[in-house]
Amino acid sequence: MSSPTWRPLLACVVAAAAASACGGSDGPSSAFTLLPTPAPAPTSPLPPPPPPPSPAPAPVAQPALLNTPDEAGGCAAVAALAAELSAAGRTVSITSTKIAKTTATDASGNPQSYCAVAGTINGGRKGLQAAGQTDAMSTYAIAFQINLPTRWNGRMFMSGGGGSDGSVPDTTGAISNGETVQPLLSGYATISNDSGHSNATNNDPNNAGTASFGLDPVARVDFGYNAIGQTKQLANQLVARYYAKKQDYAYFMGCSEGGREAMMVSQRFGDEFDGVVAGDPGSDLPKAWLAEAWDTQQFAAAAQAQGFLETTGPGASNSTPLMNAAFQPAQWAALQQAVLAKCDADDGLVDGMINKRSCTFDVSTLACGAPGAPGAPGCLVPAQVTAMQKVMGGVKNSAGDALYSDWPWDAGIGAFGWQIWKTGFGYRTSGANDAINATLGGGAGPLIFTTPPTQGLATGNSLVQFQLRFDWDADAPKIKATDGTYTESAYSFMGTHSTDMSKLKGKGGKLILYHGTSDPVFSFNYTAKWVDSLAGNTANGTVKDFVRLFAVPGMNHCSGGPATDTFPVFSAVVDWVEKGKAPDRLIASSKPGNPDTAGWTLPAGVSSRVRPLCPYPQYAQYIGTTGSAPAALLEQNDPGKFVCAN
């Protein structure tokens, strides 16, 4: 860049000042001759000082678009704001605006009218195009929808996604993450996005289908965090323009990948949110994916040892083990009963739930022929014992170093919601693998979570094979690798391991996490260890003042399992933020009809179990009457008969 033209001028001014200083010298080496001081010139009255400059006019607040001149007209006027809403790194296109009404109604029978705004950020971006891809497959955008209610309550609600995202979550109706809420109906402006890629268009069948966006380095970062940051900042501007007022409070809520996003915003964008709810979060998701691949190897080995192989698809010709057959239903039932027999009473009540999280269980006690082990088909063969020991102990490399986390022994292990991730959708001895770890996770690992991404995975069996061949010494470091094309590692752009919570804390924000202790895909123990680590950062002060974690006994991934999996967690974070009411417990209930709770004994006429959830590291300790008498059962369903114990 050329030198600015004012630099010679500045040099002259400096030189003149130096010459003046030299002129003041009276030594013999002075280059100047001192002259007599001239008489002062006659003075004349000074002119009056000029009037002070007029103050710059204050910026004129733009009027609210809502109802200017009418609701429909105001909503339509949003379409013209694309340029105003754009910024450096953010080109906004608004593709539709329309007035709509919620399907649900409030207590008075009234729906909420709202302006639905849909559009894209950085639409039409041309990404990295792999061999064989069409232009559509490698063209990206961050698609968003922002819903602006007519009866606005001054608040904003942003929803997390799920899986590997790729579609815009619907926030116009009920949203269930622990608690079922209707934010738009309640007057929240609601925001969601697809995280920067589309399952419909960025879908390459020769590269793991919808995971193929992982071939593009920008799409990776958009998925990890950038799409959320860009959408939230856009929403800030649009809300302020539509209502001529900034929001009073902003909230974020999600479970699973949405829970990871919630943790991520609490760390990267904590100054953008007042309250955050993170359910069963995929903390440091690339590390959790290592556990998915590890589990695939262990359950495949158990199936292989029993001679169960895929019988359909490409796997039928290359002897791929069929994980669905790794364990029989009677074996899962025997495992659940044994875990409960060991640990159920530790919280003061034998009720099919393990509240105290100190359960130690030796799965080898179920080995066929071991003293006290059940007979066939409930006992476990050696390969099954080994599989469960390795799965619950967590993924390790050949040196024995933990690469993710171990898992808690709990009552929901082996429940249907647990099996679908680890071994598949029910027991069967024929067909092809359908465990979510090997299908959804099978594509995410090689395309999104490792560098460089692996190309050419065109079948479900190829995804299983990628996990079966994964090497814990040579391949695991790829989650932290970078290269000239992929300059940010998966562990970085997906990471939620930071203990720097200064942005959230500085804003006065609050974070509530909840996590099922029978979650089969993300370990409760990993989340708990992160919460523990916050105390090591002295800048966080007293962690419980703004972060609380609630364990949900028996709950599988986000819901299900033998669990009281319904609890008012969003209401709790709002009360904490706006009323200063810290959640010392959450009152949880079970879903009537949940088959995992069919064996529970409830009081007469009651269809739902009620229990308190306590903030980690506390647990719900029962102090009431035990037994199965009617009065005792009523006490056992009374949260007041439990205390939060350490």
Rounded average pLDDT over 29-41: 33
- The pLDDT tens digits of the residues spanning 617-634 come to 999 999 999 999 999 999
- For residue 318, the model assigns a pLDDT of 83
**Binning pLDDT at 50, 70 and 90, where does residue 16 land?**
very low
pLDDT at 491 over 70: yes
pLDDT at 175 over 90: yes
- For residue 171, the model assigns a pLDDT of 98
Map tokens 């992929």 to a residue.
486
- For residue 580, the model assigns a pLDDT of 98
- The pLDDT tens digits of the residues spanning 126-171 come to 999 999 999 999 999 999 999 999 999 999 999 999 999 999 999 9
Element (H, E) at 99: strand 92-101
Rounded average pLDDT over 70-84: 95
- For residue 344, the model assigns a pLDDT of 98
Map tokens 């959408």 to a residue.
231
- For residue 259, the model assigns a pLDDT of 98
Q: Reduced to 3 states, what is the DSSP secondary structure of residue 583?
A: coil
Rounded average pLDDT over 467-490: 98
**Comparing C-alpha atoms, which of 496, 485, 498 is closest to residue 214?**
485
**Binning pLDDT at 50, 70 and 90, where does residue 67 land?**
confident
pLDDT at 47 over 70: no
pLDDT at 21 over 60: no
Pairing, β 586-589 against β 175-177:
unpaired
* Cis peptide leading into residue 51 (ω within 30°): no
Q: pLDDT: is 34 or 377 the higher one? A: 377
Distance CA 314, CA 240 (A): 55
Active-site residue identified among 557, 565, 590, 596: 557
Rounded average pLDDT over 382-396: 98
Q: What is the pTM of this model?
A: 0.90
**Comparing C-alpha atoms, which of 56, 630, 617 is closest to residue 355?**
617
Distance CA 242, CA 338 (A): 59
Assigned token pair, 34: 């001192």
- For residue 22, the model assigns a pLDDT of 36
Distance CA 366, CA 374 (A): 7
Residue 488 half-sphere exposure, CB side, CA atoms within 13 Å? Answer: 16
What percent of the chain shows pLDDT beyond 90? 89
- For residue 465, the model assigns a pLDDT of 97
- The pLDDT tens digits of the residues spanning 177-217 come to 999 999 999 999 999 999 999 999 999 999 999 999 999 99
Bridge partners (DSSP) listed for residue 321: 309
**Comparing C-alpha atoms, which of 641, 593, 589 is closest to residue 610?**
589
- For residue 598, the model assigns a pLDDT of 94
- For residue 59, the model assigns a pLDDT of 45
The DSSP call for residue 641 is G
Residues 6+ apart with CB under 8 A from 206: 132, 455, 456, 458
Distance CA 298, CA 459 (A): 21
Residues 6+ apart with CB under 8 A from 116: 96, 97, 98, 99, 100, 145, 147, 172
Rounded average pLDDT over 230-238: 98
Rounded average pLDDT over 235-260: 98
The residue type at 512: I
Distance CA 437, CA 445 (A): 10
Average pLDDT, rounded, for the chain? 92
**Binning pLDDT at 50, 70 and 90, where does residue 509 land?**
very high
Rounded average pLDDT over 214-227: 98
SS3 track for 100-144: EECCCCCCCCCCCEEEEEEEEEEEEEECCCCCCCCCHHHEEEEEE
| Least confident residue range of 27-36, 260-269, 377-386 | 27-36
Active-site residue identified among 164, 167, 256, 266: 256
* 497 among known catalytic residues: no
* 557 among known catalytic residues: yes
* 256 among known catalytic residues: yes
Distance CA 624, CA 614 (A): 17
- For residue 69, the model assigns a pLDDT of 81
